[in-house]
Each structure stands twice: as structure tokens, then as C-alpha cells.
Amino acid sequence: MKASRRISLLAVLAVFLVSPAVSAEAVPLSDRQIQVIKANCLGAQNSIQQLQRTEAVTRVNRGRAYESISKLFVALNSRVAINKLDAPALTSATTEMEHRFTAFKDDYSAYEDVLSDTAKLSCAVQPVTFYDTLTHARELRAKVAADIKAINEMLDAYQQGVKDLRAQVNEDQQ
Amino acid sequence: MKWSEVVGLVTRHRFLFAIGGVVGIAIIMTAVSLSLYVTSGTSRLDLSRPGYESVRKDVQDRPEETFNSDGPINKAALDEFDRLLQKRRANLNGLGDFEDTSLDDASLRLTP
């Protein structure tokens, strides 16, 4: 009797310890929501596939634009070095931008993988899995958006560095 | 089967073994190429895949002015650099930023 009480107590304790972690991972879907997902998910998957195509172009165009800007930065940095001027902000912003660009490429790949999974799932049979995968895709998409913001900040930092360089050149010429 | 017998068999059917070898090498090379194509992430950016015909025309593929890495640093050079950078940033601002509501429940009609 005592042993069974102890087991029950341990079981209750285990439920309390485990429950918060489970509920923090995913908000359970209501029956009504699951029905809506089952009914509309094929249309949603079509929209996701269309988004995939549009965003693949965005990714390619952004990648090319960043590479083009990176070449521009390398050219100016090289000219600064040849002219024996001091502009560490330019080199550090260039390096940081390269890192952010790599993060953008990696995060986009991860996002694209999950988005493809979302579009391929048998959503009418697995509505909860479909929604969880979709939620994950949204999180990864937000990371890609954050990478773009970080790159923009680096571009601003570089432009500020060019302003400082301009002031330095003006001083030297006076 | 002895080694001499194997050599004899191959010698007798040289043409057959040569074709088999070439096909085997081609299969291995194709498998390696395909795995590199997928693992390197190139497949995700390959817009020549089926289904991407409609969006291919949106890829920007025009030659851009470059900035010479050799030359003086003066007002004219920095003005030129600013002009080129502004042009590229304006182009960037016109591209999607992965922040729109396309994946929201409402857009996908998943809201009860």
C-alpha cells in the first residue's frame, strides 16, 4: 500500500516537472482549428509553393546584390590600403557583412528545407504535424529577415565609415 | 575461380567489360555530382527546376558598373563610390525582405 502511494506521488511529481516543458513547445490546437486546417490545408500548400518560387528568386537576387556590394567594398578597401590611409571601420564592416551574408545563406537553406517539408506533408491526414512544421518555417523565416536587417546595419556602418574617410581626406587636402 | 581464369574471361569479353566499366563509372560520377548539387545548397537556388518557369524572368542578371580598386582616394573617387553603392542599395530595397504576412494563418486561410 505504502509502495503504491509512493509511486503515485512520484508520478504526480513527474507530471508537474514535465508538463511546463511540453506546453512551452507548442500551443495545442483546438478541434475547430484542426478541422479548419484539414479543410483548407491543400489551398495553403499551394500558396506555400507559390511563395517558395517567389522567395527563391528573392534569395538569388539578394545574393547577387550582396556579392556585388561586397566586391565594391573590397575595391574601396584595396584603394584605401594602396593610398596608405587609415580606415579600420571599413574593413571590419566588410568582414562583418561577409559573416552576416553567410548566416543569411545558411538560414535561408534551413528555412527552404522546412518550407518544402510543409508543402509536401499529407496535411489532411497529419494536420497537427503540418501546423507544427509551418510554425517552425515561420521561425526560420524570421531568422532570415533578421539576417537581412543585420546586413543593412553593416551597410549603414560601412557608409558611415566612408563619411569618416571623406572627412579625413578633406582634412589632409586642406 | 582462379585469377588466371578471371583474366581470361575479361580478355575474352573485353568489349562487354569496357562498356560495363564505363557505365559503372558514369553512375558513380552522377551520384557524386547529384549529392554535391543537393548538399551544397545549389539545388535550392536552381531556378531551372520544373515549376520555376514563371519566375525565371524576375532574376536580375544585368551587368553592373564596377569601382576600380586602383587609383587615388579623393572627393571624386568617393562620390563615384557613393553613387555606385546608392544604386545597389536602391535595388536591394526593392527586393522582398521575408517579413510580409504570406505565411500567417490569415493569409493561408487557417484561422477558424
Q: Does A24 touch chain B (CB under 8 A)?
A: no
Q: What is the pLDDT of residues A128-167, one digit of tens each?
A: 999 999 999 999 999 999 999 999 999 999 999 999 999 9
Q: CA B32, B35, B37: angle at the middle one, nearest 5?
A: 110
- Smallest Cα distance from A108 to chain B, Å: 9
Nearest to B112 among A32, A41, A74 (CB): A32
Q: Does A80 touch chain B (CB under 8 A)?
A: yes
CA distance B55 to A57: 7
What are phi and psi for residue B2, nearest 5 degrees? -80, 165
Q: Which string of DSSP letters, residue by residue, matches A4-67?
A: HHHHHHHHHHHHHHHHHHHHHH-PPPPHHHHHHHHHHHHHHHHHHHHHHHHHHHHHHHHHHHHH
CB contact under 8 A, A51 and B102: yes
Which has the closest alpha carbon to A152: A80, A28, A62?
A62
Give the chain A residue nearest B70 (alpha carbons).
Answer: A79
pLDDT tier at A23, thresholds 50, 70, 90: very low
Nearest to B45 among A56, A137, A145 (CB): A56
pLDDT at residue A6, rounded to an integer: 61
Residue A35's Cα: distance from chain center in Å?
30
CB contact under 8 A, B110 and A41: yes
Which has the closest alpha carbon to B67: A123, A19, A24, A68?
A68
Instruction: Describe the crossing of helices B3-12 and B14-39 by its angle, rounded to 10 degrees.
Output: 90
Counting the structural domains of chain A, the total is: 1
Report if residue A156 sits inside a domain.
yes
Domain ranges, residue A60: 29-173
pLDDT at residue A26, rounded to an integer: 62
Averaged pLDDT, A97-118: 95
- Smallest Cα distance from B13 to chain A, Å: 48
pLDDT at residue B57, rounded to an integer: 86
Q: Does A102 touch chain B (CB under 8 A)?
A: no
Which has the closest alpha carbon to B91: A149, A151, A66?
A66
Residue A46's Cα: distance from chain center in Å?
22
Q: What is the pLDDT of residues A37-50, one digit of tens each?
A: 999 999 999 999 99
CA distance A88 to A86: 6
Most B-contacting residue of A68, A86, A130 (CB-CB within 10 A), to test interface: A68
Q: Is the pTM value of this prediction over 0.90?
A: no
Report if residue A6 sits inside a domain.
no
pLDDT at residue B2, rounded to an integer: 87
CB contact under 8 A, B102 and A169: no
pLDDT at residue A14, rounded to an integer: 47
Report if residue A163 sits inside a domain.
yes
CB contact under 8 A, A137 and B103: yes
Q: CA A159, A68, A88: angle at the middle one, nearest 5?
A: 40
Give chain B's residues under pLDDT 50: none
pLDDT tier at A72, thresholds 50, 70, 90: very high
Report if residue A7 sits inside a domain.
no
Q: What is the pLDDT of residues A83-96, one digit of tens each?
A: 999 889 999 999 99
pLDDT tier at A12, thresholds 50, 70, 90: very low
- Which residues of chain A make contact with B96, given a CB cutoff of 8 A? 54-55, 58
Which has the closest alpha carbon to A66: A110, A92, A114, A103?
A103
